Structure 1
Amino acid sequence: MSNKDLSRRSVLKSVALGAVALSGGTALNMAVPGTAQALVRKLPTQWDETWDVIVIGSGFAGLAAAAEAAGGGAKTTLLEKMPTYGGNSIINGGVFAAWDDKWHYREKLNLGADSPAQHWQDILKGGDYYSIPELAKEVADGAADALNWVVEDGGAELRPTVTRAGGHTAYRTHAAKSGVGREYTEALRKIAAKAGIKPTLNSEVTWIWRADADPKSAVLGVEIKRGKKVLNLRANKAVILASGGFSQNVEMRSAHNPRLTAEYNCTNHKGATGEIHKFAQAVGADTLQMNFIQLYPYAEPETGLLDAQAVYPFNGPGYGILYVTKQGKRFVNELERRDVVAYAQINLGKDAKPTWSIFNEAMILPMGGDPEEVAEGLKRGRFIKAESITELAGKCNIPTDALVDTVNKYIQYHKDGKDPEFNKPITPAMITLEKGPFYAIPQWPAVHFCMGGLRINASGQVIDVFGSPIPKLFAAGEVTGGIHGSNRLGSNAIPTCIVFGRIAGRNALKA
């Protein structure tokens, strides 16, 4: 049919007609076509609260968005469904990829060259070129500024080193002094507080209001549940979705990626359940790449916990850490990206759980470790320490001869500058495993991060199924898709959230 016969508007209205009558004050609802529920979503006749900007989710992205919107003069509210603020961001590993920082650590430590362009290319390659290039470029270009913002304005502190994480071609991963994401959420909370923002907790969004599917029809606000009350909040300028991913929703994640059943642990907090994705879809939002869901290869094997100690295997490859099976053999290039490492573990078979990371005392500080953190890990049994590789093998129940042989070969590869087994790039910054004390930590993959989500443009606007921005609807952080492609390189999560949170907050002022 020609455009003259079938307009874009009529297509959208036709899609919606099965779910909702488009007149008489009813709301757009394409979630459950043909059911009674679809017919009773009446638009509010009055609003319990009116704001300029409503931000949903109080992690990195939401805090950054609220800080920018409120700092720009908008009357802004920040909603959090959980009883505490921060979501996954607080329990994040605290690693932040940026080509530079205010102290220029990479340059001062003689760790080689880097640039936003190189970071951008790593994001694209690391996601098998499924990324939308202009979105990935925003992250690479804005990462250093975002890092300096939370340091200078929020008081975040970094450890004085830079690591090279799997899949990155440069030493660009910065570590929070506290070893966890709370370093940055607290900094962002302080920045937001200066603008008058305090997260409103126990406020669960239960609907997004939009009148109809006309491309010019703006999002009006949200319905929330706060205790026993159901309230409707009007947004004069914008609604910003920063609600995170859906890794804890086993039904939802396995619907998109059937192998990620309940058999897998999850590193996420309990609120990462993805209902905002569905509410956004119900008002016309497009999604993409929802099957791209990442496993964190270094989680605590029995619980899936991502604690400070679980970040050591991630930070270590650029300084010489070794990954081995419980038979004492290497199984992967330690500088490979997370998906490669995770599936190398899984392909060993269920009986292979756990694998181990081996490092020595000399690696701890360069790879962003902390002696107190190590001591606490030893006390809790997360780390195992020994004076020799032979002793370490015994404590980990790894065959001694096999581990000694693997370590000796690995030492020689570092000396030769060439890894004939797995072709790992050997750099001058790497430390050999010749001298103890030695440490080991067990690891196994757990569901970690959703690369797919709502489709956005470089302005942070949510895009509908026909490729147009939905007026007054923005999104940032893990709720969005298209930035990382099939795989997110580790330490790109925080800059992604903060960069696009700031973009969404600033552009919401113009909506």
Structure 2
Amino acid sequence: MSDQQQKTGVGRRAILKATAVAAGTGLALDLFGGKADAAEPRAKRPLPKRWDETWDVVVVGSGFAGLAAAAEAAKAGAKVTVLEKMPVYGGNSIINGGEYNAWTDELHLREKLKLPEDSQDLHGKDTLKGGDYYGDPKLVEILCRESPKALDWMIDEGGLQLREILNRTGGHTAYRTHTCKEGVGRGYTEAERKIAEKAGAKIRLNHEITWIWRADVDGPVLGVEVKARGKKLQLRVTRGLVLASGGFSRDVKMRMAFNPSLVASYNCTNHPGATGETLRFAQAVGADTLHLAFIQLYPYAEPETGILDAPAVYPFRGPGYGILYVDRKGKRFVNELERRDVVSRAEINTGMKPTYSVFSAKMAPLMGGTKEEIDAGISKGRFVKADTIEELAGKLGLPADALRETVATHNRYIKEKRDPDFGKPITDRMLPLEEGPFYGIAQWPAVHHTMGGLRIDEQARVIDIWGNPIPRFFAAGEITGGIHGANRLGGNAGPDAVVFGRIAGRSAAGATPAA
């Protein structure tokens, strides 16, 4: 305790206990509004008199991070349950774009495709720079070191299949973005689910946690309160609680509390359950947070709904192969290899909704596109197809002369390997838009990812507001902060969640058990 704290009598325990409850009741810092029962003030909630169930490890959330944690904890011999509040498993992960960054892989795709070299160090430098150096270098180093191992783990033990392509996407300096065969995150979650269930983890749907129990400011997490089928259950945790419940992009009030610009009129790519209450429960029992104002827009969402469907991933995958972004005047407005936050701001600054991506049939397979996806996108009105640039302009409602000139200029830049307009680095893999058919797709920013969250250490332990690990408390994935910084590079969410989910599961299983 500092001299000032000694004089005032205010120390760490005093501060927390002032808002906690008397002996025999649960710690409850009701500072952030996350109430399970609005009629019952937090400071008056006693600890459970009895536990309905006892588990070694309880995992909250069944996406990339939660399934990875469950798999590793169960493989380590722990009795594990996964609590998913939604009626289907997978969270945002199951509907994400299917992209995963790793600088190498056991399939040797880089060598097969004869792409330039990449490295762990380069991936790390891109990640730190892409987040304006707000990311924790130690956590970023773990992410980039372990991402190839986690990818190989899903291939070897979960049967994950990849498309034989690698993309260079916005903010990256190398072709390192993998795509699963399914083209959506389900490919990874299915692989993880198989591993977790084979190891003995039990996944339970429609189980929503409504509180985290912790008796004392220096004590461990004891368990969670759960609402399931209209009943409340008290689950005791003997080794570790792992929070892997994702971000809060769907909670407009919460996101505006940290970033007032993200008003309700913004669409959102997330599933309905991305509402952040679990983060608030963690804060209420002393967990520290960081970077909560850093919230990402996805620049390529469907303009009217904000959906991130299969066609909405094509603009993200395409920059390394020459895709073109244009505004409603048919003009380029940004370097297509820029980060998501830069592209989103540039779109908004055009003052004209929507913008468009233009690519060719020749580019599509290089960036992982399939005939089935494109045909389905055309039938749904998401992709527009034309044999000439002039015809494409007409179908998109763009000035034909302007689009033709923009395409011709960009083609010249690719051949000359320089972009004097926006400074895009031109690579040997980029193709000019010379041979049809051509495709166009409308795009517009939608709220997508919350980079901030719970503070964790290298063992995925949740850190309290004084910098100490909270016993038996772990977290991974989008609910955490400190890795991506001010902006997440596309394709880094998957490895973040899987890598730190695995670490959290191992750490939880290895924690000293309760008596």
Shorter chain as denominator, the TM-score bin is: over 0.9
Equivalence for 1:194:
198
Q: How many angstroms apart in 2 are the aligned matches of 1:414 and 1:104? A: 28
1:32-43 to structure 2, matched below 5 A, reads 32=31, 37-43=41-47
What is the rounded CA distance, in whole Å, between the counterparts of 1:3 and 1:132 in structure 2? 31
- Pairing 1:501–2:507 present: no
Q: What code does the residue aligned with 2:420 have?
A: P
Q: 1:14 and 1:304 mapped to 2: Cα distance?
A: 46
Residue 131 of structure 2 corresponds to residue 132 of structure 1: no
For 2:116, the aligned partner's letter is: G
SS in 2 for 1:501: helix
1:3 Cα deviation after fit: 5.4
User: Is the 8 Å Cα contact of residues 32 and 38 (structure 1) preserved in structure 2?
Assistant: no
Query: Which residue pairs with 1:239 in the alignment?
Result: 241
Deviation of residue 8 (structure 1)?
13
Are the equivalent residues in 2 in contact too, given 1:139–1:495 (CA < 8 A)? yes
Mark the CA change 1:415 to 1:278 in structure 2 (over 3 Å): closer, same or farther: same
Gaps of 5+ in 2: 34-38
Determine which of 61, 72, 94 is the counterpart of 2:65. Answer: 61
1:424 — aligned with what? 424
- Give the match for residue 30 of structure 2: 31
Matches of 1:450 and 1:100, distance apart in 2: 27
Shift of 1:199: 1.3
Matched-pair identity in %: 60
SS of 2:65's partner is helix
Q: How far did 1:9 drift?
A: 11
What secondary structure sits across from 2:57 in the alignment?
strand
Confirm or deny: 8 A CA contact 2:32 2:280 kept in the other structure. Answer: no
Q: Distance in 2 between matches of 1:176 and 1:239?
A: 30
Distance (whole Å) between structure 2 residues aligned to residue 17 and residue 149 of structure 1: 44
For 1:255, the equivalent position in structure 2 comes to: 257
**TM-score between both structures, scaled by the size of structure 1:** 0.97
Q: Is the 8 A contact 1:119 1:140 kept in 2?
A: yes
Please say if residues 80 and 202 of structure 2, whose CA atoms lie closer than 8 Å, have aligned partners that are also in contact.
no
Partner of 2:231: 229
Kindly indicate whether the alpha-carbon contact (under 8 Å) linking 2:21 and 2:28 is maintained by their aligned counterparts in 1.
no
Q: Which structure 2 residues correspond to residues 350-389 of structure 1 after superposition, within 5 A? A: 352-389=352-389
TM-score, structure 2 as length reference:
0.96
Tell me how far 1:7 sits from its aligned partner: 11
Q: In structure 1, what residue type is equivalent to 2:236?
A: R
Preserved CA contact (<8 Å) 2:298 2:448? yes
Which of 114, 118, 121 is equivalent to 1:114? Answer: 118
Deviations 1:274-329 (A, max 9, x none): 00111000100000000000000000000000001100000000000000001100
Matches for 1:335-354 after TM superposition, within 5 Å = 335-349=337-351, 352-354=352-354
| Closer, same or farther: CA 133–240 of 1 in aligned 2, 3 Å | same
Give the paired residue count: 506
Which residue of structure 1 aligns with residue 459 of structure 2? 459
Gaps of 5+ in 1: none
**Deviation per residue, 1:442-488 (Å, 9 max, x gap):** 00000000000000001000000000000000000000000000000
| Aligned partners of 2:17 and 2:217 also within 8 Å | no
Match of 2:150 among 146, 150, 153: 146
In the TM superposition, what is the alpha-carbon distance from 1:45 to its structure 2 partner? 1.3
Query: Quick one: structure 1 residues 333 and 18, their matched pair in 2 at CA, closer, same or farther if it must change by over 3 Å?
Result: same
2:311 maps to amino acid: Q
Moved over 4 A (4+): 7-10, 32-36
Shift of 1:33: 9.6
* Rounded Cα–Cα distance in structure 2 between residues aligned with 1:424 and 1:5: 55
Q: Is 1:104 paired with 2:137? A: no
- Aligned pair in 2 of structure 1 residues 8, 67: CA closer, same or farther (>3 Å)? farther
Q: Deviations over 1:96-155 (max 9, x none)?
A: 000011111112212101011110111100000000111111110011011111111111
Matched-pair contact (CA < 8 Å) for 1:31–1:278: no
With 102-111 and 72-81 compared, the bigger mean Cα shift is at 102-111
Any idea what the Cα deviations from partners look like across 1:40-79, whole Å, max 9, x if unmatched? Answer: 2101111000000000000000000000000110001100
Q: How far apart are residue 18 of structure 1 and its match? A: 3.4
1:18–1:173 Cα change, 3 Å: same
Q: Which string of whole-angstrom CA distances, capped at 9 and with x for unpartnered residues, describes residues 244-264 of structure 1?
A: 000000000011000001110
Give the residue type in structure 2 aligned to 1:456: I
Q: CA deviation at 1:36?
A: 6.6
Check whether the contact 1:96–1:492 (CA below 8 A) recurs between aligned residues.
yes
Give the root-mean-square deviation of aligned CA atoms. 1.6
